[in-house]
Structure formats: structure tokens, C-alpha cells
Amino acid sequence: MLLNVAIRRSYCYRPVKRWKIFKDLNEDSTKKGEVAINLAKHIRNRIIATGPITVAQYMTEVLTHPTAGYYMNRDVFGLSGDFITSPEISQIFGELVAVWIVNEWVKLGSPQPFQLIELGPGRGTLIKDILRVLTQLKLSEKLSLHLVEISEFLSQLQAQSICFEFEKLNDCTLPYYQIGKSESGCAVYWYKRLEDIPQDFAIILAHEFFDAMPVHKLKLMAGIWKEVLINISEDKLENFKFVLSNSPTPISQLFKPLPEETRTSLEYSLESDRIVRIIAERLQCYGGVALIVDYGHFGEKVDTLRAFKRHKLHNFLQDPGTADLTADVDFRQLKRVAEENGMVVCYGPIEQAQFLMKMNGNLRLQQLLKNAPPGSRELINSGYAMLTKSDEMGQRYKFIAMFPSVLRNHLNKYPPIGFD
């Protein structure tokens, strides 16, 4: 049974509805425990059958297993979940991203109709804020919305947030599995994979998407890259442990470090490389722009694997399926892959605080404060401070933009806002 609860952010001068959907599984800790045990047994049996598995295989099972995967059956976002994202904290974030989209679209000649694509939309909060701005600018009729979401449970959550009508489809011949229509009349489609979306001019967004991509963990030993694997612990069958591979693995042989690489331990996401290449090819062939936002680094961090449960760090190998697994995005690798064949040109990464400042976030903040009830102003200020302070999200989160390389000279003259 689903319970719909309308939540209003009272600190906005014009409150924005937020929809949350809770499933019985969310509230029943016993059922949560059963899910964790079943998934642990499944992973254990897989290891018994085939030997130690990669960290990437473990993450894939834990996050996206069809019945017990972390993202597959419950709302994991917000204060009642395990972590919170920038759009949930302040509407300013989504509004400024929307302004960035419109500005770059106009600079590219305002092609229409155009696709607005989001990878991993979460609750749908970011895209809802963006659609609100585009609707106010009378642009919603010029676009179609395409959401890449592997979790059908989360796709229902997103539809509740942005659509006044939607329908889940059972036609396996179609590339999408759910359709809807936004409150402004924009057509909305849901897909399992980016490559299933029809090729056309597109604005592509990926906010906190790549940090959830499965990673392989590698260590340099005596000049040879070896892969860290996951095996069964001798102490308890349901517990797991990290072990070092005795012989080369496909990934340790495939991995080619950058010439300037100095680390002896790192995380490498083959799936992230694949998706970035798809984005680059789409932009080169059909035009558009991509904006990627995530927490990460530029090739200097060595051990960022971690798990979060109820907003606290959790043992990465404990109770699989009950906590979020994540790793910082290596923006140096992402940028290298995007630009390797000369298909696109990248701007950034720059820190979130810098981007929001250049997008005149402070002016939007003052506007909200001016029109807000006195009792709401502290919440507005604290929300924006969380997005921009260096000890909060301001430095950890990075922005990177991708454009077709054919626009290089144009961009040298008119660089993308926020990155100039």
C-alpha cells in the first residue's frame, strides 16, 4: 500500500510541493532485515559458486538487485532516508540549473523541439524545479522529457512529483516502460538505458548519478595493477571481506592509467567510461550539451568507497541492500574519456559554490528572503549556506559541462555561463 504525503517547503515565498511515497518495507525494520539476509545469502552463494567477486559486481547486486536492491523498492532520499541531495535542500539549486540550460540553449540557436534528459532523477525534485522555470518562460511546449531510471519504484515517485497523469506500460517492443504528461503538458518518458532514448538534440543532466556507478578497486603492487575483490569472511558466512586478487583480472589488465598517475590505490568505473562515451557520441552527432554534477576529485583521492545509512557512515560490507554504496567521481578520468576522440570539449570541473555564485545565486537568495515570511528566512539562509559553504557542499561537489567540439571557437568567444 502506498501513502502519498504532500510536503511543503515553508521557507519559500511561493511554497513548492514535494511528494513522498513510502512503502510498508520502509517502515518495517523486520522486513528490511529479511531483505538484507536474503541478499547476503545470494551474494554468498554466488561467491561459493564462482569465487571472489569484484567490488563493481558487489555494488551492482547491492544497489540494483531486482527484488532486494537498495534503490529498487523504497524512497531512500531526504531526511527520512539515508542521504539528502542539493535540490532537496533549496529550490535555488534547480532554478539556477534551469537558467543555465536556457542560456546555453539560446546560445546554440534555440533548436526545437529538443530533448531534456536526466540520468537517475531520484525523487524528481531537480527536474520538477527545472520544469517550473521552463514553464514560466513558456518553453515547456518546446521540449520532451526523457528520464533514465532503472528502478520502477523510483519512477513512480518521479511521476507523482512531475506528472498530472502517467501510465506504466507492458509493451516490451517499446524503448520506454512508462509515459506521462507534466502539469504544463510536456511529454515524459522513462527508460532503463540512455542508449534507448531516440537520437536528437538534447540537454543531458546527471546530478549525483556517476557516484552510484559500480567501481573496481585497484592497487599497484611491484609495478603491477591488482584488483581488490570481495570474498566470504571466515568469521561468519553472512559477512564479507576484501581480498587482493592472486592473478590478473580482466579489469586489472584492461586498465590504462594516465601517464601522470602517481597513486598506488584507486577506484575505476568501467560503466562510467561507457556512459560518458555514449554522451560524447550523442553530442557530436546530434548536438546538445551535458551538465554533470557530483561529489568528486580530479585524480588525487585514493580510497573513497563508503556506505551511508540514515545519514551516517555504515560498514560497506555489512547488511547489503540496506545502505547506499558510493564512491567519489574521478573527474579527471571522466574528462579524459569524454575528450579522448575529440568529439566534445569539456569545461570544469569547478566547485559548486563557484558555479552558484557565478549564476547569481546570492541575488536569487535575496529575492526569496525579501518575499518570505519572517519565520522562514533562517531556513532559506541555512539551506543556501549548506549548498555553498566550503565545509558543507560548496567544495566537495563539482560541475562539468560538455559541448560538441565543433563549437570550440564559438565557446572561446562565448564561454558557458558559470564556467567563464
At 186-209, the pLDDT tens digits run 999 999 999 999 999 999 999 999
Please tell me the predicted confidence (pLDDT) of residue 161.
93
Count the residues in the chain.
420
| Intra-chain end-to-end CA distance of the chain, in Å | 49
Q: Taking 50 as the threshold, does the pLDDT of residue 273 lie above it? A: yes
Compute the average pLDDT of residues 66-85: 77
Helix (H), strand (E), coil (C) string for 214-226: CCEEEEEECCEEE
Q: Taking 70 as the threshold, does the pLDDT of residue 314 lie above it? A: yes
Residue 131 CA to residue 165 CA, distance in Å, equals: 16
Please tell me the predicted confidence (pLDDT) of residue 28.
41
DSSP 77: B
Instruction: Name the band, by pLDDT with cuts 50, 70 and 90, for residue 8.
Output: very low
Residue 323 CA to residue 71 CA, distance in Å, equals: 9
- Are the C-beta atoms of 244 and 251 separated by less than 8 Å? no
Residue 30 CA to residue 15 CA, distance in Å, equals: 36
Q: Taking 90 as the threshold, does the pLDDT of residue 51 lie above it? A: yes
Please tell me the predicted confidence (pLDDT) of residue 36.
56
How remote is the C-alpha of 339 from its chain's centroid? 21
Please tell me the predicted confidence (pLDDT) of residue 412.
93
Count of CB atoms situated within 10 Å of the CB of 373: 10
Instruction: Give me the chain's average pLDDT, please.
Output: 89
Q: Taking 50 as the threshold, does the pLDDT of residue 26 lie above it? A: no
Please tell me the predicted confidence (pLDDT) of residue 80.
59
Please tell me the predicted confidence (pLDDT) of residue 165.
95
Cis link prior to 113 (omega < 30° from 0)?
A: yes
Q: Report the candidate in 109, 292, 141, 286 with the shortest Cα–Cα distance to residue 202.
A: 286
The three cell numbers of residue 338 are 569524454
Instruction: Name the band, by pLDDT with cuts 50, 70 and 90, for residue 7.
Output: very low
The three cell numbers of residue 243 are 581480498
- pTM here is 0.89
pLDDT, tens digit, 9 for 90 and up, residues 79-101: 656 678 899 999 999 999 999 99
Alpha-carbon separation of residue 384 from 74, 94, 205, 262, 402 (angstroms): 28, 12, 21, 36, 26
Instruction: Name the band, by pLDDT with cuts 50, 70 and 90, for residue 34.
Output: low
Please tell me the predicted confidence (pLDDT) of residue 148.
98
Please tell me the predicted confidence (pLDDT) of residue 74.
75
Q: What percent of the chain has pLDDT over 90?
A: 78
Please tell me the predicted confidence (pLDDT) of residue 135.
95
CATH number of 3-217+264-413: 3.40.50.12710
Q: Taking 90 as the threshold, does the pLDDT of residue 9 lie above it? A: no
pLDDT, tens digit, 9 for 90 and up, residues 323-362: 999 999 999 999 999 999 999 999 999 999 999 999 999 9
pLDDT, tens digit, 9 for 90 and up, residues 111-142: 999 999 999 999 999 999 999 999 999 998 89
Query: CA triplet 220, 221, 225: central angle to 5 degrees?
Result: 45
- Residue/partner pairs of 360-364 with CB below 8 Å, 24 or more apart: 360/96, 361/92, 361/96, 361/387, 361/388, 364/92, 364/95, 364/96
Compute the average pLDDT of residues 307-312: 88
Residue 377 CA to residue 183 CA, distance in Å, equals: 29
Instruction: Name the band, by pLDDT with cuts 50, 70 and 90, for residue 22.
Output: very low
Query: What residue type is 279 in one-letter code?
Result: I
Q: Taking 70 as the threshold, does the pLDDT of residue 20 lie above it? A: no
pLDDT, tens digit, 9 for 90 and up, residues 139-168: 988 999 999 999 999 999 999 999 999 999
Please tell me the predicted confidence (pLDDT) of residue 239.
80
The three cell numbers of residue 418 are 558559470
Q: Taking 60 as the threshold, does the pLDDT of residue 405 lie above it? A: yes
Compute the average pLDDT of residues 214-234: 94
Residue 320 CA to residue 119 CA, distance in Å, equals: 24
Residue 174 CA to residue 43 CA, distance in Å, equals: 32
Please tell me the predicted confidence (pLDDT) of residue 361.
96
Q: Taking 50 as the threshold, does the pLDDT of residue 14 lie above it? A: no
Please tell me the predicted confidence (pLDDT) of residue 72.
86
